[in-house]
Amino acid sequence: MIKNTENNKIPVHVAIMMDGNGRWAKKRLLPREAGHRAGANALKNLVPKAEEAGIKFLTVFAFSTENWSRSEDEVNALMNLLREFIQEYIDDTQKNDVKINIIGDISRLDLDLQEKINYLRALTNDKTGICLNIALNYGGRDEIIRAVKKVSDDVVCGKLSLNEINEKTFASYLDTAGLPEIDLWIRTGGDIRLSNFLLYQLAYTEIYFTKVLWPDFKFRDLNKAIDEFNKRERRYGGR
């Protein structure tokens, strides 16, 4: 188990782009749905390990604004899997101390799914363990546009003046408002791009790419990412 020491800092907030479910299934001659289910299980297994390691906030990309362009069958399978995942956390809420938060625009999701999400949020709101932030119908550009609209509305209504708008103020209008800045951003699956995930928040985040497909991502792989994180000098634009 990794430990938080003077020479080995555990990142407070880790974000993961869980990529590679489809390729994992294809390699095994399985339907894509099997890959997504294996990916959901990988997340459930990783969360308690991440908490034990000392990570306080874990943000994961579950469904993007662009994922609606996938086949209707795959989208429906993903939504049904999401229902199962949320229901399991609802059923297990007495067994763990995980706080569940959702980022993204959930208004496009089916009403029953929105109700489950809001119920789980309320149910875990006072939990003091690791905070699991799940990005649903989320896109970095969409988040920024929605934030700009909220800021504009408040300026027009007189709740906010132009002189009050700064980085801190603007951040309070984002989906991640109230969360600490992201220390470490991980992408699995081998692709080396941001793919519209947390664009505003990554200004000084350490980024780590791995070829490991998400369903195969284990705690040892998280350890490797944290080891690499500790080898880097974070200067935040300074010298």
Give the separation between CA 181 and CA 95, rounded to whole angstroms. Answer: 28
CA 221 to chain centre: 17
DSSP state of 140: H
Cα distances from 155 to residues 114, 149, 150, in angstroms, run: 29, 10, 9
Strand segments, DSSP code E, in 4-111 are 13-17, 57-64, 99-103
Which tokens is 94 given? Answer: 């007495």
Catalytic site positions: 19, 67
Residue with the two structure tokens 């662009």: 66
